[in-house]
Amino acid sequence: MLCIPTHVRVPSEDPELARATYTLLTVLRAQGRFEEGDLAQPSQGQSWQYLCSTPYGRGDGSVAYLHIFRHACHPSTGRPMTLSVPAAASWWPDAGCDILCLPKTGARACLRLVS
């Protein structure tokens, strides 16, 4: 059985992350949303920051990953912006990726059927 992690973080030295960043900037240029600030330092909140990668189902029933990027305050909108780009068809999380766990939620009320 294939285990599909729901959220992973690609290491910064992985070539897939460089490819995904290049793809993101290409998409932004094509949409006319590319700003010179997109290449600034992520630590200052002035550029695109890679968040994580998450799986999605393709139309043919296979599973692939999307790389998710966020800009804290994009110059063209003045607001936060989140975009994703598809991973390469051959890419799959490996042992070098961090598997991220979502925070645990508190106890929930029991559900019951109502007719």
pLDDT, tens digit, 9 for 90 and up, residues 9-18: 999 999 999 9
**pTM attached to this predicted model:** 0.75
Long-range pairs for 47-54: beta carbons < 8 A, 24 or more residues apart: 47/71, 48/21, 48/24, 48/83, 50/9, 50/10, 50/17, 50/20, 50/21, 51/82, 52/7, 52/8, 52/9, 52/100, 53/7, 53/8, 53/9, 53/10, 53/87, 53/93, 53/97, 54/6, 54/7, 54/8
The whole-number pLDDT of residue 37 equals: 55
Query: Is residue 76 very low, low, confident or very high in pLDDT (cuts 50, 70, 90)?
Result: confident
Interval 1-26 mean pLDDT? 86
